[in-house]
Amino acid sequence: MSSSIKLLSGDFGHVINGKLDTAPNAKRLDVNNPATGEHLASVPICDRATLDKAVEAAAAAFPAWRDKSWAERAEAVKKWGEHYQSSIPDLIPLLTAEQGKALGISHYEANAVTEWFQAMPTMELKETTVLDDEKMKAITRYTPLGVCAGIVPWNFPILLMVWKIIPAVLTGNTIIIKPSPFTPLCDIRIVEAAQQFFPPGVVQVVVGDDSLGPWITEHEGIRKVSFTGSSATGRLVAKSCSATLKRFTLELGGKDPCVVMADVDFEKAIPQIFMAATLNSGQTCVCAKRIYVHDSIYEKFSQALAGAFQNGAVVGDPLKEGVLIGPINNKMQHKKVSEFFDDVKSKGYKTFAGGDITSSGDGLFATPTLVDNPPDDSKIAVEEPFGPIVPLFRYKDEAELLKRINSSEYGLGASVWSTDLEKAGAFARKIDSGIVWVNSSPVLHPRVPFGGCKSSGIGCENGDQGLQGWCQLHSICVAK
């Protein structure tokens, strides 16, 4: 299968100072297909000296890039975006091969990115007059920070990388990307292609093993780290960044509640909640990870959702047509997900759909599973599985429900489903999270800020606030 993937031909490596560095003498890391175990490619492991080289190139490129106008930087991003669009058909099979997501989901991820290429260049951060009285005029403006780094997870390697590169370079920074060691291939090819549109050193990628992330977060030459990943690693990133007082943005884990009120429109809600619960085999930060259903419709709703799981959640080779649920991306994560299945089984909780982690016993697959009203303090109710196993809960009283929802350590996203928009909107305002969708599964947009509270993160991506996160706020006060 891998022989038919065009972007696998040619070597992989770091992209430093405008060039692909295949580092032939370096130790290497294997990248395998999680659906089959097939070896796809190997990538060099970045050592400390190679990271230093990338930081030096980024620092050298910074002054000239900073001094370009927003329009010039936006033009480079737009041109890169046009080229990116032409490469989507080749990226899709590579993304499925290294990440394991069904072809349709790879299609969605690869195409979703184009919205960022188109919208973000139009979102210039303008100078604002904040004071203009008889004594003084004061303006605020946003200036770039310098050399930045983006640390990317394996679940949406393209989208989450581009979310960092575009705002970083638009605001005048230079950026070094570190992909997940499980999914570096698309990221390398995309950054390699970007070199045609940016001066050397503006956009770079380094790939490596577990040492590389900490080297980046502690590096004295890097002024900001934008990190997307687990809450556990996010805490390590924050601690490490504190030594050099570098800025950081943390986009971390979640346990998104999905509230299904008694007056929900079943026909509209079921397909969307099904997608929200199973997107990317449950390996999505904003998947619906605990579904609260009003007691009066619990039976009817759970049967309808279980039906959607049984009919639609087709598990298998992600390259095959009709498959929606590809494998879990890596062995470590598969083991983690299996612990949730084991816990549900050993505690004797009932399931509506699925129940056993694998149907066939081979590969890194997990069977989409709905758990019937487990206790609020159970593992599946409290922790993030990051796999296709989702609990349904009954609720009667909204005030009580709000306490249950907000008692989570997480606060990333949430959704509320009701035909009464006023009631749903009022409830949404009381949820502790970075974002709430009313009558919609997770939809993200370049203009809408996205970030979490509590253990789900600090800061945000997207929107003007996301752009501001890559900048120093600069106030200028002129006496009259």
**Shortest Cβ 280–ligand NAD spacing (Å):** 10
Part of the chain binding ligand NAD (CB under 6 A), chosen from 137-145, 148-156, 315-323, 372-380? 148-156
Q: Which residues of 76-178 form beta strands (DSSP E)?
A: 128-132, 136-144, 147-151, 174-178
Cβ within 8 Å of residue 58, ≥6 positions away: 147, 174, 175, 176, 201, 202, 204, 221
Position 384 contacts ligand NAD (CB under 6 A): yes
Measured N-to-C along each axis, helices 103-119 and 157-170 cross at an angle, to the nearest 10 degrees, of 10
Q: Of all residues in this chain, which one has the CB nearest to ligand NAD in the complex?
A: 213
Three-state SS at 204? strand
Q: Which residues of 75-223 form beta strands (DSSP E)?
A: 128-132, 136-144, 147-151, 174-178, 203-205
Kindly tell me which of 253 and 354 has the beta carbon lying closer to ligand NAD: 253
Question: What residue type is 110 in one-letter code?
Answer: A
Q: Compute the residue count for the chain.
A: 480
Part of the chain binding ligand NAD (CB under 6 A), chosen from 74-82, 124-132, 153-161, 295-303? 153-161
Alpha carbons 19 and 22: distance in angstroms, whole number: 9
Instruction: Please say if 251 is a catalytic residue.
Output: yes
Residue 214 has a CB neighbour count (10 Å cut-off) of: 13
Kindly tell me which of 201 and 208 has the beta carbon lying closer to ligand NAD: 208
Alpha carbons 355 and 373: distance in angstroms, whole number: 14
The residue behind tokens 């705002």 is: 167
Q: Which of 98, 109, 192, 251 is catalytic?
A: 251
Member of 57, 77, 91, 151 binding ligand NAD (CB under 6 A): 151
Position 154 contacts ligand NAD (CB under 6 A): yes
**Shortest Cβ 362–ligand NAD spacing (Å):** 23
Position 146 contacts ligand NAD (CB under 6 A): no
**Shortest Cβ 369–ligand NAD spacing (Å):** 19
**Shortest Cβ 476–ligand NAD spacing (Å):** 34
Position 213 contacts ligand NAD (CB under 6 A): yes
Question: Judging by DSSP bridges, how do beta strands 415-417 and 437-438 pair with one another?
Answer: parallel
CA angle 13, 185, 321 (to 5 degrees): 160
Three-state helix/strand/coil letters over 68-84: CCHHHHHHHHHHHHHHH
Which two three-digit tokens encode residue 113?
A: 């990115």
**Shortest Cβ 177–ligand NAD spacing (Å):** 10
**Shortest Cβ 471–ligand NAD spacing (Å):** 20
Residue 26 per-residue DSSP state? S
**Shortest Cβ 224–ligand NAD spacing (Å):** 14
- Site size with ligand NAD, rule: CB under 6 A: 29
Taking CB under 6 A as the rule, which mask of x and - marks residues 337-376 in contact with ligand NAD? ----------------------------------------
Kindly tell me which of 121 and 466 has the beta carbon lying closer to ligand NAD: 466
Kindly tell me which of 328 and 357 has the beta carbon lying closer to ligand NAD: 328
Part of the chain binding ligand NAD (CB under 6 A), chosen from 173-181, 264-272, 289-297, 401-409? 173-181
Q: Which of the residues 225 through 264 are near ligand NAD (CB under 6 A)?
A: 228-230, 233, 236-237, 251-254
Position 466 contacts ligand NAD (CB under 6 A): no
Alpha carbons 227 and 153: distance in angstroms, whole number: 9
Member of 41, 165, 285, 416 binding ligand NAD (CB under 6 A): 285
Alpha carbons 307 and 286: distance in angstroms, whole number: 22
Kindly tell me which of 217 and 281 has the beta carbon lying closer to ligand NAD: 217
Kindly tell me which of 197 and 450 has the beta carbon lying closer to ligand NAD: 450
The residue behind tokens 């605990």 is: 290
Q: With DSSP H G I counted as helix, E B as strand and the rest as coil, what are the percentages for the chain, rounded to 5?
A: 40, 20, 40
**Shortest Cβ 121–ligand NAD spacing (Å):** 22
Residue 342 has a CB neighbour count (10 Å cut-off) of: 12
Alpha carbons 299 and 275: distance in angstroms, whole number: 20
Kindly tell me which of 249 and 302 has the beta carbon lying closer to ligand NAD: 249
Taking CB under 6 A as the rule, which mask of x and - marks residues 438-457 in contact with ligand NAD? --------------x----x
Kindly tell me which of 151 and 389 has the beta carbon lying closer to ligand NAD: 151
**C-alpha torsion sign, points 317, 319, 323, 326:** positive
| Interacting residue ranges for ligand NAD, rule: CB under 6 A | 151-155, 160, 178, 180-181, 210, 213-214, 217, 228-230, 233, 236-237, 251-254, 285, 384, 386, 412, 452, 457
Residues annotated catalytic, as ranges = 251
